[in-house]
Amino acid sequence: MRYGINFKGFCIFLSFLFTFLLFLAIASLFLIPNPLEVLNALKTEEMIYSLKLSIITSLVSMIFVMLLSVPIGYALSRYSFPGKSVVKSILDLPIAFPELVLGLALLLLFGQSFIGKFLEDFGIKIVFTKLGIIVAQFFTALPYAVRIIYSTFEEINPRYELVSRSLGYGEFETFFNVSLPLAKNGLFASTIITFARCMGTFGTVLILAGGSYMYTEILPITLYLNISYGNMEMAITSGILLIIISFIAILAFEKFEGHKR
Amino acid sequence: MRYGINFKGFCIFLSFLFTFLLFLAIASLFLIPNPLEVLNALKTEEMIYSLKLSIITSLVSMIFVMLLSVPIGYALSRYSFPGKSVVKSILDLPIAFPELVLGLALLLLFGQSFIGKFLEDFGIKIVFTKLGIIVAQFFTALPYAVRIIYSTFEEINPRYELVSRSLGYGEFETFFNVSLPLAKNGLFASTIITFARCMGTFGTVLILAGGSYMYTEILPITLYLNISYGNMEMAITSGILLIIISFIAILAFEKFEGHKR
Amino acid sequence: NESQSTSTKKPFEGKTITVLCGAGLMKPMNELIQNFENETGAKINVHYGGSSELFGVLATTGGDIFIPGAYKYTEDAMKKGIILNDTVKNITYHIPVIAVPEGNPKNIRSLEDLAKPNVKVVMGDPNACAIGKVAKKILEKNHLWENVSKNIVVKTPTVNQLLIYIATDQADAAIIWEDMVTWAESKGKVEVVEIPKDKDIIKTIPTAVTIYAKKDSNLEVAKAFNDYISSDKAKEIWKKWGFIPCK
Amino acid sequence: MNFLKIEDLSIDLGEFKLVDVNLEVKKRDYLTIIGPTGSGKSILLETIAGFYKPEKGRIYLEGEDITNLPPEKRNMSIVYQDYVLFPHKTVFDNIAYGLKKKIKDKEKIREEVTQITEVLKISHLLHRKPTTLSGGEQQRVALARALIVKPKLLLMDEPFSALDIKTKENLRKLVKKAISEYETTVLHVTHDFDDVWSLANKVVVMKNGKILQEGDVNEIFYKPSINFVADFVGTNVLDGEVIGKEDGLTKIKVGNCVLLSVDDGEGKVRLSIRPEDIIISNNPIETSARNEFRCKVEKINRMGNLVYLTLNVDGIMLRCILTPNALYSLNIKEEDIIYALIKATNVRIIAKNVEGECRS
Amino acid sequence: MNFLKIEDLSIDLGEFKLVDVNLEVKKRDYLTIIGPTGSGKSILLETIAGFYKPEKGRIYLEGEDITNLPPEKRNMSIVYQDYVLFPHKTVFDNIAYGLKKKIKDKEKIREEVTQITEVLKISHLLHRKPTTLSGGEQQRVALARALIVKPKLLLMDEPFSALDIKTKENLRKLVKKAISEYETTVLHVTHDFDDVWSLANKVVVMKNGKILQEGDVNEIFYKPSINFVADFVGTNVLDGEVIGKEDGLTKIKVGNCVLLSVDDGEGKVRLSIRPEDIIISNNPIETSARNEFRCKVEKINRMGNLVYLTLNVDGIMLRCILTPNALYSLNIKEEDIIYALIKATNVRIIAKNVEGECRS
Ligand SMILES: Nc1ncnc2c1ncn2[C@@H]1O[C@H](COP(=O)(O)OP(=O)(O)OP(=O)(O)O)[C@@H](O)[C@H]1O
Ligand SMILES: Nc1ncnc2c1ncn2[C@@H]1O[C@H](COP(=O)(O)OP(=O)(O)OP(=O)(O)O)[C@@H](O)[C@H]1O
Ligand code: MOO
Ligand SMILES: [Mg+2]
Ligand SMILES: [Mg+2]
């Protein structure tokens, strides 16, 4: 009995310890600025612009990431095709990139390359534009989502899918009606990670979208810009805003997840 | 039938499309520098130092992350305690931080705060040291690992654990013998993500450990420092090195995972 | 006191100070630090970074010596009262030049050429980084700001981006610090177009001791280091790495 | 002292409740738990094993209160209805799992596993992973895993349901041998009355989370205490009234007939007569069987290797079981008139002072 | 034309192989598949449903080659041994799932679900998630899900194994009714011979991935073609030699006895006699049954509501089944001498020209 309680206690203790450390670290950010100035900073046009742009681009990127990582994760888990483990490794790879490198790689891909030129002919400009923010966030977050969703699908017994198909549903419908809902936990995890990752993407966006004041300015860039301006209040405020928004979003997700079970 | 093939084809097509795009992006990085100079850059003392330090710190951080995220993920999934969804949200939160912000927060926590002083009294210095690299990587990667492992444990039927316990194994032993091996897929996913994330951590390390030449210099920092004084060859070389090492590590993991099933 | 009682023992043995230094100064700074350590026995922790990152670190948790990429940051820090004002010293000149991609496809020869149609110019954000502010002033001084503005495709918060964009052909020209492009130029990634002295605005890179040195009782070492890197002896090293030391 | 004692055990799972379960089991008892599907049998087992924490009530094992003891201290093994084999371990490791905790000698473990798997005929599967096994194979592996540790109390939830008759019979023999050898006490949930007849000395009938009746096998099958149990175990239930005594036997009037029973009773009573205890003949016979009735064969149903007759005794319907050979030698067809004989010892009074139906 | 035709079907799963399975099923056939555990019954069903791709062989449904058709085009429902209910859907949605694909009218769907769940007695569970259901409840939900779409071919893998006898009987009736109403053809894997007797018109016996025998119910149980099947279905198997004819019946010498059979044969033959077809009497009787033997009761085993006698007929051992009532009225004890009667129609020649044992 003692043994058991100790293990449980140990695990919960660790959870609280790290939550506490993180909380302290985050809280100390909140203590730097003067609350009044934070309020003022919040009201600036720049901050409002940046906040809006951050949320919108993150949501859009999140949607695209989820739309794409689900079929990719499914294909990697259910079908076998030559070169699969290389494909999996390449898809995982950008996780290991400092954002600067990923940004650079995307810049080369969508900049003056044939792909970039091709897209530009269709009026699609990625480099130094808002679209670039989304592309940057998308490529930064996609690998995480794919990896998580892949390993979730691996856990699902294919017999569920067979039953659905023998009841008349095609592969595609079965995927929607059965595989996807069964992957719920993994989808939640990857949605949370994707959204959070998109909110926090900095270096990739900076290189690909440029980081222009009040144009491609998302919260992490506001933060950096304001540090550069020597405007610490404003910088920390955008950091705090980022934290609060993310916290609310994540908490909402977590509550929603808790509800569904 | 056609329908089925289309869905399968569609999923596989998407996988290949994105693999191809990423591959192109990565490949174009390889085309920037002159191969001879890459070789020369590889042989410099700085590059070798940075490479070694990157691999060592990433491995150490990965081990610590896994050691901690497993009990934390387990506690979050198996036990209920007050404030659980807040704890979960706080643990997810750093994913949303630009590395710069996380670095600042950790700097505040381990720098001049009472915790920093307390640790320093024991001779443990984190700020601007190699230990700082590990701490930075650890806090950057931990949230991903916790989230993935948590959602993996959620999928495991607790009856397996009961059977193990009724066969005489305590909670702790059951965890090792049953819960952990059953969580294999999720553990793989989080190990890969953790290692890759540690390899790529830049901003957090830069702020907490400082980008000291040949001291706290890991590959992303080599890259940054060299761009800063215009040495593109050396910068890209460290990027390429980072990519190659990560690719080999991930491929090895993937192969190993494939083997185990 | 003790450290001076034995002549063989180096004066600052066992002391450690932290230097926050612009990443662009890395090469000469590494050499200088090595020399200083050998002479004095002090241990120098150097933390390279972009000027604004360094400023952020300094403002939140400190550091003993502050050497940003441009005087502006030292000025900001002085306003915050975290610099010992009497220790501020200029080390080297910081010279803006025009950088163009390899082969100079748009044939940029002068500042005026930046205003030609179809030239894509990337600029530092005048509010965000020192090079941006200087570039704007140079253009204003030459009455080109309005016309060049139309050609600016992006204003970047960091100077590194300018180099990256030029080196990867994303833009046709940028105004950037000369010392940043020496390496890239020698590798044929970019070409440099000098700005005539009369049209240019030359800046300086300063060093200063911070109030944190006082707090950590590292003042003595910090001051010694501060003096050392701006000394005549150090100037040779700065020159060696392509910088032009201040008189 | 009772080996296992359950006192007022209650559990609330929202839609379903276990209500005030009381149970006493002696050492070496073999208790089968029967009841319709969804009656709470599995939940009762899992609660005893320590999976659910009861809201109320206590569980004692050998006099010790184990209500709050963790599962690993209870010395019980559980065989699950859906096997719950460890998918990441080979069959060998699944079976050896519990043993490895107790003894360290690898040779000894291998020996014991080899022994039990040979008896269960699964020794050719030892290197396989459970996911590739057939239903019956998995069930035997689960059984081996539970038996090998020689638990004090063995909890089995329909352990033979996925097996063919031959294997089932063999396993019954094996379990019987094993438990008598190791002095194991067994709680066995089953839907197969053959399990009850061939293994159990005690039976518990559950419905809707309650224990309806508890007793030895004959009690349950011959003297079901309420209609539901009677119906469930398939006996004939008749309502009648005691009208006197005759030679020490109780005289009971049912409809227009009079039945004699060895059981005592008075007033309105309810009777149970098992269908396999009704003896059929073509002509009236003088025997020691005191109850003899002339009746009409209403219906003949062939079911497997048995024949079910529905007999009409002056308006009272009785179910009766025969083998095809008996049917043949009696040469009975539907609508025939035959004679049914019921021994007074087989007419059991299962309820006294009955008012109307006592459906549970 | 055959409704379902399987030709030379082979599958290799490494450790296990299905080898050259040939099977023909007519429309409205009810085929039960029996065989020891691990014989490949479930895999055969899953292959027909389209889960495994065969290595060799073809499957035809109504003349059309469906070997490469995806499962959703096959018009079959499968009821799994371990239910495989969708854990994320309520019971209602699980059942309505297949229907929703076919009809859009919500009212109609609700009606049909209500109807089938009332019959299956699971209408109180409609709003629940399957994870909280008992084994039997899950099984009925799985059954409802498969039945409601009225498939052309219904594949059931031990669909009643987790049910109590009462529920099982009710479900058999229901399935019988449903299939005759919808003209469904059924393949039903079972371990319960009662399923075979009460539902099937055809039986297939499998072992080690091969089909050993196929035929109608009586053929399998009365004329098992090889010893394994005989043993598996529990019949008596005797080896003898034809010594001539008498009144159109074949005279067979078994040991020291002579048996008469309606079947033709010559030379060495093997006979099957079902234990429930042996008629017992205390005294020799003159009947139409031409085989009468004096024998000794070696052993009496009570098993459930049946009694198994082992009879010694001049050294030949015969198993015989009685009900307790018959045992009582005959008043038989072990070691008694009795008379066994076997009709010539119940002595079946199951193999001709036998040399030694033909163990499969
Ligand atoms: N977690 C739960 N929440 C709500 N109801 C539950 C839960 N688990 C089980 N039940 C319900 O409790 C009842 C009893 O379940 P249990 O599994 O004990 O039945 P059982 O007697 O074993 O039946 P079977 O013979 O079919 O296995 C069932 O009606 C089931 O639906
Ligand atoms: N993926 C697989 N790889 C190897 N062997 C397998 C695989 N799946 C099943 N088997 C083996 O095939 C054999 C037949 O399995 P199947 O499930 O068809 O048996 P079954 O006849 O249904 O038995 P039961 O009556 O016990 O359910 C078993 O011995 C099983 O171990
Ligand atoms: O030297 Mo800086 O890097 O101007 O910002
Ligand atoms: Mg149950
Ligand atoms: Mg099976």
pLDDT tens sequence across D189-243: 999 888 888 899 999 999 999 999 999 988 888 888 888 888 888 888 888 899 9
Question: Has residue C93 got a pLDDT over 80?
Answer: yes
Highest mean pLDDT among A108-117, A189-198, D312-321: A189-198
Shared domain for A25 and A45, answered yes or no, is no
The pLDDT value recorded for residue E11 is 93
- Which chain A residues are closer than 8 Å to D69 by Cβ? 1
Question: Has residue E140 got a pLDDT over 50?
Answer: yes
C207: contact with A, CB 8 A cutoff: no
Among A193-202, B25-34, B49-58, E4-13, the minimum mean pLDDT is found in B25-34
Q: Is C51 touching ligand 3 by the criterion CB < 6 Å?
A: yes
- Higher pLDDT: A140 or C11? It is A140
Interval C150-174 mean pLDDT:
89
| Cα separation, D125 vs D141, whole angstroms | 9
CA of B3: which chain E residue's CA is closest?
A: E70
Question: Has residue C241 got a pLDDT over 70?
Answer: yes
Assess contact for C37 and C44: CB atoms under 8 A.
Answer: yes
The pLDDT value recorded for residue B161 is 92
Q: B7-12 contacts: CB < 8 A, separation 24 or more?
A: B7/A170, B7/A171, B7/A172, B7/A175, B8/A75, B8/A79, B8/A171, B10/A71, B11/A71, B11/A72, B11/A74, B11/A75, B11/A78, B11/A79, B12/A75, B12/A79, B12/A81
Q: A168 CA to chain D: closest CA distance, Å? A: 26
pLDDT tens sequence across D18-29: 999 999 999 999
The pLDDT value recorded for residue E314 is 86
Closest ligand 2 atom to residue D164 Cα is 25
Question: Has residue E311 got a pLDDT over 60?
Answer: yes
Give, for ligand 3, the residue of C55, C131, C156 to mutate: max count of ligand atoms closer than 8 Å to Cβ: C131
Closest ligand 1 atom to residue E134 Cα is 17
- Higher pLDDT: D148 or B210? It is D148
Of A15, A95, A255, the CB nearest to B197: A95
Instruction: With cut-offs at 50, 70 and 90, classify the pLDDT of residue E360.
Output: very low
CA of A204: which chain C residue's CA is closest?
A: C161
Q: How far apart are the two ends of chain D, measured CA to CA in Å?
A: 31
Cβ–Cβ gap E38/D322 under 8 Å: no
Q: Atom 2, ligand 1: which residue's CA is nearest?
A: E132
Question: Has residue E327 got a pLDDT over 90?
Answer: no
The pLDDT value recorded for residue D1 is 67
The pLDDT value recorded for residue A212 is 86
CA atoms within 13 A on the CB side of D265: 27
Instruction: With cut-offs at 50, 70 and 90, classify the pLDDT of residue E274.
Output: confident
Structure tokens at B84: 């659980």
| Cα separation, B183 vs B154, whole angstroms | 10
Cβ–Cβ gap A169/E78 under 8 Å: no
For residue D324, give the nearest of B90, A230, E218, E176 by alpha carbon. Answer: E218
Question: Has residue E223 got a pLDDT over 80?
Answer: yes
DSSP string, B82-151: TTHHHHHHHHHGGGGS-HHHHHHHHHHHHTTSHHHHHHHHTT---TTSHHHHHHHHHHHHHHHHHHHHHH
E80: contact with A, CB 8 A cutoff: yes
Sequence-distant (≥ 6) Cβ neighbours of residue A123 within 8 angstroms: none
Shared domain for A144 and A236, answered yes or no, is yes
Ligand nearest to the CA of E39: 2
CA atoms within 13 A on the CB side of B63: 5
Shared domain for A131 and A215, answered yes or no, is yes
Q: Atom 18, ligand 1: which residue's CA is nearest?
A: D40
What is the sign of the dihedral through the CA atoms of B28, B29, B33 and B36? negative
Structure tokens at E179: 């299939």
- Domain coverage including residue B19: 1-32
Q: Atom 17, ligand 1: which residue's CA is nearest?
A: E134
Shared domain for B146 and B183, answered yes or no, is yes
Q: For all residues of chain B together, what is the average pLDDT?
A: 88
- Which chain B residues are closer than 8 Å to A204 by Cβ? none
- Higher pLDDT: C196 or C183? It is C196
CA atoms within 13 A on the CB side of A80: 1
Q: Atom 1, ligand 2: which residue's CA is nearest?
A: D132
Shared domain for A3 and A92, answered yes or no, is no
Shared domain for B21 and B145, answered yes or no, is no
| Cα separation, C204 vs C244, whole angstroms | 10
Q: What is the CATH number of domain E234-352?
A: 2.40.50.100
The pLDDT value recorded for residue C167 is 87
Shared domain for A48 and A59, answered yes or no, is yes
pLDDT tens sequence across B217-228: 999 999 888 888
Q: β-strand E202-207 against E30-34: which pairing, if any?
A: parallel
- Spatial strand order of the sheet with E268-273 comes to E257-261, E249-254, E236-246, E268-273, E348-352
| Cα separation, B127 vs B227, whole angstroms | 24
Instruction: With cut-offs at 50, 70 and 90, classify the pLDDT of residue A142.
Output: very high
For residue E213, give the nearest of E200, E201, E227 by alpha carbon. Answer: E227
User: What's the residue count for chain A?
Assistant: 261
Crossing angle of helices A158-166 and E41-49, rounded to 10°: 60
- Taking the centre of ligand 3 as the mean of its atom positions, its distance from the CA of residue A229, in whole angstroms, is 12
Cβ–Cβ gap B230/C61 under 8 Å: no
Q: Is C129 touching ligand 3 by the criterion CB < 6 Å?
A: yes
User: What is residue E102's three-state secondary structure?
Assistant: helix
User: What is residue E79's three-state secondary structure?
Assistant: strand
| Cα separation, E54 vs E13, whole angstroms | 10
Q: How many domains does chain B have?
A: 2
Interval E103-112 mean pLDDT:
93
The pLDDT value recorded for residue A136 is 96
Shared domain for A22 and A126, answered yes or no, is no
Structure tokens at C137: 């002033």
Interval E276-284 mean pLDDT:
82
Shared domain for A124 and A7, answered yes or no, is no
Q: Which of residues 154-173 of A touch B (CB under 8 A)?
A: 154-155, 170-172
pLDDT tens sequence across B171-219: 889 999 999 999 988 898 899 889 999 999 998 998 888 888 888 899 9
Shared domain for A187 and A82, answered yes or no, is yes
Shared domain for B135 and B11, answered yes or no, is no
pLDDT tens sequence across B40-63: 888 889 899 999 999 999 999 999
pLDDT tens sequence across D252-277: 999 888 888 888 888 888 888 888 88
Q: Is C96 touching ligand 3 by the criterion CB < 6 Å?
A: no
Cβ–Cβ gap D323/E324 under 8 Å: no
Shared domain for B9 and B77, answered yes or no, is no
Interval E141-166 mean pLDDT:
90
Instruction: With cut-offs at 50, 70 and 90, classify the pLDDT of residue E288.
Output: low
Assess contact for C173 and C106: CB atoms under 8 A.
Answer: yes
pLDDT tens sequence across A31-63: 877 888 888 888 899 999 999 999 999 999 999
The pLDDT value recorded for residue D197 is 84
Question: Has residue D357 got a pLDDT over 50?
Answer: no
Q: Is D37 touching ligand 1 by the criterion CB < 6 Å?
A: yes
Instruction: With cut-offs at 50, 70 and 90, classify the pLDDT of residue E358.
Output: very low
Assess contact for E68 and E241: CB atoms under 8 A.
Answer: no
Interval C129-136 mean pLDDT:
88
Question: Has residue E285 got a pLDDT over 70?
Answer: no
CATH number at residue A125: 1.10.3720.10
Closest ligand 3 atom to residue C52 Cα is 5
Q: For all residues of chain C together, what is the average pLDDT?
A: 87
Instruction: With cut-offs at 50, 70 and 90, classify the pLDDT of residue D359.
Output: very low
CA of A192: which chain B residue's CA is closest?
A: B92
pTM equals: 0.85
Closest ligand 2 atom to residue E36 Cα is 25
CA distances from D182 to A168, D112, D147, D167, D200 (A): 52, 14, 10, 22, 16
The pLDDT value recorded for residue B227 is 84
Q: Which helix (H) or strand (E) holds E298?
A: strand E291-303
**CATH class for domain D4-228?**
alpha beta
CA of B202: which chain C residue's CA is closest?
A: C49
| Cα separation, A12 vs B74, whole angstroms | 9
| Cα separation, B143 vs B86, whole angstroms | 14
Cα E251–Cα E252–Cα E257 angle in degrees, nearest 5 = 110
Domain-wise residue ranges, chain D: 4-228, 234-352
Q: Is C70 touching ligand 3 by the criterion CB < 6 Å?
A: yes
CA atoms within 13 A on the CB side of A221: 31
Structure tokens at A57: 């681009």
CA atoms within 13 A on the CB side of D20: 1
Give the neighbours of chain C: at least 3 Cβ pairs within 8 Å: A, B
The pLDDT value recorded for residue B261 is 47
- Which chain A residues are closer than 8 Å to D73 by Cβ? 1
Cβ–Cβ gap A4/D69 under 8 Å: no
For residue B100, give the nearest of A106, C50, A129 by alpha carbon. Answer: C50
Q: Which of residues 43-72 of D touch A (CB under 8 A)?
A: 68-70
Question: Has residue D158 got a pLDDT over 60?
Answer: yes
Is E in contact with C (3 or more beta carbon pairs below 8 Å)? Answer: no
Question: Has residue B148 got a pLDDT over 70?
Answer: yes
Question: Has residue D59 got a pLDDT over 90?
Answer: yes
Q: Flag whether the ipTM exceeds 0.90.
A: no
Question: Has residue D360 got a pLDDT over 60?
Answer: no
The pLDDT value recorded for residue B4 is 46
D107: contact with E, CB 8 A cutoff: no
Sequence-distant (≥ 6) Cβ neighbours of residue E76 within 8 angstroms: A166, E48, E49, E50, E151, E152, E153, E154, E155
Q: Residues of chain A with pLDDT > 70: what percent? A: 96
Q: Is D42 touching ligand 1 by the criterion CB < 6 Å?
A: yes
Of A14, A71, A104, the CB nearest to B11: A71
The pLDDT value recorded for residue B3 is 44
Q: Residues of chain E with pLDDT > 70: what percent? A: 96
Closest ligand 2 atom to residue D133 Cα is 31
Rounded to the nearest angstrom, the gap between the alpha carbon of residue A245 and the centroid of all alpha carbons in its chain is 14
User: What is residue C202's three-state secondary structure?
Assistant: coil
pLDDT tens sequence across B106-125: 988 888 778 888 888 888 88
Structure-token match 């593109």, residue found:
B232
User: What is residue C197's three-state secondary structure?
Assistant: coil
